[in-house]
Amino acid sequence: MPTIVYKYGLTPHDVPKEAIDELWRANRLWNSLVEHDHQNSESYRNLINSSTPELQALTDRIAEKNEHLVELLDNQRKVRQQSRKRNLSDDGVKQDIARIKEELKDLRAQAKIERAKAKLVAEPKLEVFYENDKTSITSIVKSSGCIWSNHELIYNAFDVARKKARKENTMLRFKPFLGEGRWGYRVSGGFKFSDVHAGTKALYIASPESAQARHFSRKVLLPFKMRVCDFNNEKLYASFDLVYHRPIPDDALIKSVVVKREAQGDRFKYFALFTLTIPDETCLHKNEDTVGIDVGFAVVPKGLRVATTWDGQTSTELVIPNKTIDAIHYCEKITADIQDATNFVMPKVQKLCVDWLESIPEEHFMHKRIKYIANRNLAEKPISHHVLRKLHVSLRSLNVNNTDSIVAPEGLLSVLTDWNSPYIRLFRESTNLKAKLLRNRDMLYKVWSADIASKYGRVVIEKLNLKDIAEVKDKDAVLGASIRANRVIASLYSLTLALKNACSKRNSNLAQLDAAYTTSRCSTCGTNNNVGSDRIFACSGCGEVHDQDVNAAKNLYALDVNRIDSMEKLIVKVV
């Protein structure tokens, strides 16, 4: 039985203050688990590395090489900053950096083999280690103060994120509390949608046929009430209107319901996420047609093209319109203006922070914030306007709700107020507008992906390494500001995620194939061309004129239809 998620909008009526406190406790739980994981990861590495002398020696050599590499990269960055040039005649440094990276690659490959051997040697100790880890996590979760349905959400998210981090050799990150979070409801074994119409101990949703439901042309508003926290041994509930824009199937089994509070600009919006399991026969795709999709961003007259399709007969494209792109650039210009004003005022703010720092006790919560600004090297790492705005809010709150002898200097508060006043309206406008535009872009992706998954039983896209796309291939190459901006606006990760989710919901088969030569191979005659950076090219073999993206979509379609795993097998001539 496939599992899918239905998302509905919520209009809040009564969300108690204690519910927001519950989100804060959930955020604190996450950070406590992350802190435990960081300490645990260090202990785990020490345990494994000390199991065999060979692995310990390799680990020490890798650490030495990393230190040398960081030093070289730091020196190179400083030289470039001083000369204000990206391309310098530092071939010797480049060669040293390339050599060390290659050595590190070999050492890590050797360490991977030795680490597998070390795990076998350390297996008895690891069993005790895992048992202690499990006990510690259980203790942290139980002492969080959250109700079980909420701390279960955090623990499950932590468990998934930790497995992913270990697989990718990365570390989990702490999260600041920005008022966002989730409340959960779950019943062991699941329940039907009709079960909550009469109300349960923790969840009530009115029936669409009941007198409480309010009907509009395309949607129905249903009263929605869910337990979100406990306070003084009393269960507290939040009430909303559920925007019921699509029906939940009668035979669907609801595994969980999550209410999500999400910041959009300087406001908060609420959503309900229903995790459902639906019988296989309900989700069978009746269409067996195939479509090839080339994913990538390119500027076209209508806007920014992010996807091109070919189904054997017709080609379509997904384009973010120019109006949206211009509006996003407008928001970024406002942000840049605010940052320029921040850079202008920062030397004065930093001097005032240095003078004030001496009179703040180290145990006071403001000491760390003021020290961060006072000791910052502004030439190398400018302070973000977000940091300055948070400082302004903290200082105002300190003077209004002062319970000790620490008072913000009038000079510092005056400078921050003068800086903040002209830009607060612009900041709110740009923040809210950009959040709305990106939300509309994501909705465009979801609607388009749903249409593709409904029409075609098999969707073929290229296998993209999104990390490579997000980085500059050659760190020394000059990447234009417009290309970087378009890469962010396109957000190919969001598009591929929307396609995966849509295909999963509609039981359409999603295939990811190797993208090598899909752009350069002529889809008409099979000749491999040197296409360069031109979007339109003429095949040197048959003279056919192609759009690179359309040609790539045709080749992906041909790969799948012919059940071939590599484009090289379709190339008949190399030019």
pLDDT tens digits, 23-50: 999 999 999 999 999 998 888 888 888 8
Q: What is the pLDDT of residue 473?
A: 45
pLDDT bin (cut points 50, 70, 90) of residue 152 is very high
pLDDT bin (cut points 50, 70, 90) of residue 558 is confident
For residue 179, give the DSSP letter: S
The DSSP secondary structure of 35-66, one letter per residue, reads: HHHHHHHHHHHHHHHTT-HHHHHHHHHHHHHH
For residue 511, give the DSSP letter: E
Q: What is the mean pLDDT of residues 103-120?
A: 89
Q: What is the mean pLDDT of residues 462-486?
A: 64
CA torsion through residues 372, 378, 380, 384, sign: positive
Alpha helices in 471-531 (DSSP H): 481-490, 492-505
Q: What is the pLDDT of residue 477?
A: 47
pLDDT bin (cut points 50, 70, 90) of residue 573 is very low
CB distance 294 to 452 below 8 Å: no
Q: What is the pLDDT of residue 544?
A: 85
pLDDT bin (cut points 50, 70, 90) of residue 221 is very high
CB distance 171 to 38 below 8 Å: yes
**Cα–Cα distances in Å, from 61 out to 43, 56, 106, 108, 160?**
19, 9, 11, 10, 32
pTM: 0.70
Q: What is the pLDDT of residue 197?
A: 84
Q: What is the pLDDT of residue 572?
A: 46
pLDDT digit string (tens) for 292-336? 999 988 889 999 999 999 998 999 999 999 999 999 989 888 988
pLDDT bin (cut points 50, 70, 90) of residue 474 is very low
Q: What is the pLDDT of residue 485?
A: 83
Question: Tokens for 217?
Answer: 């042309």
Whether 280 has a pLDDT exceeding 60, the answer reads: yes
Question: Tokens for 288?
Answer: 């067996």
pLDDT digit string (tens) for 362-412? 888 788 888 989 988 888 788 888 888 888 888 887 766 555 567 778 888
Sequence-separated (6 or more) residues with CB below 8 Å from residue 224: 10, 204, 205, 206, 239, 240, 241, 242, 272
Beta pairing class for 458-462 and 290-300: parallel
Other Cβ atoms within 10 Å of 556 Cβ, number: 30
11-15, 188-192, 400-404: lowest mean pLDDT where?
400-404
242-246, 253-257, 410-414: lowest mean pLDDT where?
410-414
Q: What is the pLDDT of residue 476?
A: 41
Q: Let me know the angle formed at the C-alpha of 383 by 435 and 389, rounded to the nearest 5 degrees.
A: 55
- Residue (of 136, 51, 66) closest to 104 by Cα position: 66
Whether 82 has a pLDDT exceeding 80, the answer reads: no
Q: How far apart are CA 519 and CA 500, in angstroms?
A: 23
- Of the chain, the percentage scoring pLDDT greater than 90 comes to 31
- Amino acid at the residue 350: Q
Q: What is the pLDDT of residue 421?
A: 85
* Unique residue bearing structure tokens 């959040």: 435
pLDDT digit string (tens) for 59-75? 889 989 989 888 888 88
CA torsion through residues 237, 239, 243, 248, sign: positive
261-270, 470-479, 483-492: lowest mean pLDDT where?
470-479
Whether 167 has a pLDDT exceeding 90, the answer reads: no
pLDDT bin (cut points 50, 70, 90) of residue 155 is very high
Q: What is the mean pLDDT of residues 155-177?
A: 89
The backbone torsions φ and ψ at residue 244, rounded to the nearest 5 degrees and listed phi first, read: -90, 80
**Cα–Cα distances in Å, from 370 out to 53, 344, 386, 389?**
45, 18, 15, 13
Other Cβ atoms within 10 Å of 84 Cβ, number: 6
228-237, 298-307, 320-329, 505-514: lowest mean pLDDT where?
505-514
Query: What angle separates helix 322-357 from helix 424-455, to the nearest 10 degrees?
Result: 140
